[in-house]
Structure 1
Amino acid sequence: MFFRPLLCLSLCAFALPTLADTVWLKNGDRLTGKISVLDGGKLLIETSYGGSIPLKWNQIATLESDQKLLVKQGDTVGEVAKSLQASEPGKVTLVNGGAPRTVELASISQIIHPKPLIQDFTWKGNVDVAMDYKRAETDTDDYDVSFDTKARHGLWRHNGAASYNREYRDGVTVTDNWDAEYALDRFIDEHWFWQGRLNYKRDQIEDVRRQRTIGTGPGYQFWDNDLGAFSLAALINRSDYEFADGSEEDFYLAALKWDYNRYLVGKTFELFSSGELGKPLESVADYALDAEVGLRYKVTDWASLNMKAEKDIISGAEESLDETRYSIGFGVGW
């Protein structure tokens, strides 16, 4: 009779997924799933029964995981642990091939998945849609759609983006433009890459009707992990502008291009910004700026609410442009 419950307990333990992570809370509860990230005082655990569950880090007693995780203590000290083992309340043991090391949970500021340089294939992106209807002395209908995606295969990264905006006031079209861009990055090492890009913009209303840009130059990836990414590229571009009166301008310019996103509060919020600031090598214009900044709030694993501001400036050209747009909408991501 003594061996029967012991046998049942052993079989149940054997039947549990070997790669399942476990988190013990201070109130005695226990959750199993897959640890995703720790940031901003929130530990995000992916579960099959409740989706993504954020947990307050100060309410966790201990945890264990068979995953390889990057554990950061403070802003600079980081260690890649092959696994985590449960310890006494308030502590966890880091196992990385040498002697196991037990640390205080309070000393850990971040837990993320280390990202290798070469990966078979990763693909991520999002589509944001915003619509605004105003019925007053002036009736306004505004539609805004944007698309952004990145695909990484080994040392190559493909970047694609497109957007469309149209606005009516009392049935008259006052804004009608779209743009598309493709950039190809070839990584030299973990951080440095070389980029080639193509960009096209079409506007039916503003003085600058067409913008075509082709450019190339080096870039630097400061980081790219579960908490976000940040890269800068210094490019030499050839730009062609076509204006409403039929005149054209073409010139070379030096440009700084950035791409930034950062997840906050256990990936509940995402702060993002991308754009390009260019200075013509000839005295055709003072400078050109095309930038956006925004915030996304994650409603589910794939759906989000977003707020975004966009700025498009061409200063000092024969026909200048200064346009600002704000939008609030709904998005999907993968």
Structure 2
Amino acid sequence: MLSRSLLCLAVFSASTPLLADTVWLKNGDKLSGKIVLFDGGKLVLQTEYAGSVPIDWSKVKTLESDQELLVKQDAYTGEKAKSLKAADDGKVTLANGDAPKTVELASVQQILKPKPVVEDLVWKGNVDMALDYQRAENDTDDYDIDFKTTARHGRWRHIAEGEYNREFQDDVVTTDNWRAEYALDRFLTDKWFWQGRLVYKRDKVEDLSRQRTVGTGPGYQFWDDELGAFSLGSLVNRTDYEFADGSEENFYSLAMKWDYNRYLIGKRVEFFTSGEVGKPLSGVADYALDAEIGLRYKVTDWASLNLKAERDIIHGTDESDLDKTRYSAGFGVTW
């Protein structure tokens, strides 16, 4: 009798569908899945039948969820709800025990899963790796590792980037350099921010062996949501050059930065470009450019393939001239 009861319970459990979040649209459609995030006017619903589906928030009639979610009605403060309950058209109820609260969907700025320490932390990034082995008249081994990560909470955004390049030709090192950058943004409004950043570059092969840059200035975030982001920043920089022969130069410059990425084909393909162009205020160089452009294809939710081109130019005096173009293809991890 006991074994029969356990068998019935197992069959019932297997046949009972997992609880799913539900979104009702204004045109009468109903979608089921798991709410991942609402940000930048897009509600992202993870479904079994279509993967990650972005939904225009203006098309949502109401919604419900059994998850604990942080609902923010402005850019910096939010209320943690044990669950969301469907309400009248254009509204949703934040269920919190004996004190449910019904709010207008139009007033909601962001919905996300609360984090253990910093509840409104949004963390994303990627690591790209490329390896190239060529065996011919000249044997070539080429290694390239890049990473970029962004963490945002409240009015603050932290950005860390780095890369390492190393190349051998017939066991002789022809390229050996690395770069690290950290930037801290303080949002003054929803769009305007002020940035401070540090950059360090080290090259063991080129005459320009070290570069150190400290900069600060305003920036503007055009958008930043699940489908991509675009920002521009202007900086006043102090740069120090150190050459292989021990000589040094330093100067101030004005620079413009850009950072753009856009997901295509159902968030499977990402187009991205970022870089900086600067003009020194003294005669040490005419201009400097450090830029990249590429595509990233998501094989799974975390694994990706990438193809990109990088350009690094310093045009000025003969001692500091540099012009490099690098193409790479490889694999990586995205989160």
Task: Give the TM-score normalised by structure 2.
Answer: 0.72
User: What are the superposed Cα offsets for residues 157-192 of structure 1, whole Å, 9 maximum, x if unpaired?
Assistant: 000000000000011000000000000000011000
The equivalent residue for 2:21 is 19
Q: Structure 2: which amino acid aligns with 1:322?
A: D
Identical counterparts, % of pairs: 62
User: What are the superposed Cα offsets for residues 275-298 of structure 1, whole Å, 9 maximum, x if unpaired?
Assistant: 110000111110001111110011
* Partners of 2:61 and 2:90 within 8 A in 1: yes
The equivalent residue for 1:325 is 326
> What pairs up with 1:211-290 in 2 under 5 angstroms?
211-290=211-290
> What pairs up with 1:187-202 in 2 under 5 angstroms?
187-202=187-202
Structure 1 residue 44: Cα displacement: 7.8
Change (3 A) 1:131 1:156: same
Structure 1 residue 119: Cα displacement: 7.1
**Aligned mates of 2:276, 2:205 — CA distance in 1:** 22
**Aligned mates of 2:252, 2:292 — CA distance in 1:** 23
**Aligned mates of 1:251, 1:322 — CA distance in 2:** 20
The equivalent residue for 2:310 is 310
User: What are the superposed Cα offsets for residues 11-48 of structure 1, whole Å, 9 maximum, x if unpaired?
Assistant: xxx9863623589xxxxxx97423779xxxxx98523x
Matched, 1:120 2:120: yes
SS in 2 for 1:175: strand
What root-mean-square deviation, in Å, do the aligned CA atoms of Structure 1 and Structure 2 show?
3.1
Task: Give the TM-score normalised by structure 1.
Answer: 0.73
* Partners of 1:202 and 1:211 within 8 A in 2: yes
* Partners of 2:21 and 2:32 within 8 A in 1: no
User: What are the superposed Cα offsets for residues 244-265 of structure 1, whole Å, 9 maximum, x if unpaired?
Assistant: 2222110000000111111011
* Partners of 1:131 and 1:143 within 8 A in 2: yes
SS in 2 for 1:295: strand
**Aligned mates of 1:333, 1:179 — CA distance in 2:** 20
Change (3 A) 1:151 1:304: same
**Aligned mates of 1:223, 1:309 — CA distance in 2:** 24
Change (3 A) 1:220 1:54: closer
Matched, 1:95 2:69: no
Structure 1 residue 243: Cα displacement: 1.3
* Partners of 2:23 and 2:60 within 8 A in 1: no
Change (3 A) 1:152 1:80: farther
Structure 1 residue 211: Cα displacement: 0.4
Q: Structure 2: which amino acid aligns with 1:20?
A: T
* Partners of 1:312 and 1:323 within 8 A in 2: yes
Which runs of 5 or more residues in structure 2 are unaligned?
1-15, 38-42, 65-87, 93-107, 112-117
**Aligned mates of 1:246, 1:15 — CA distance in 2:** 69
**Aligned mates of 2:18, 2:167 — CA distance in 1:** 56
Q: Structure 1: which amino acid aligns with 2:21?
A: L
Of 51, 62, 73, the residue aligned with 1:53 is 51
Change (3 A) 1:312 1:15: closer
> What pairs up with 1:283-298 in 2 under 5 angstroms?
283-298=283-298
Figure out how many residues of one structure are paired with residues of the other and give that number.
267
The equivalent residue for 1:70 is 56
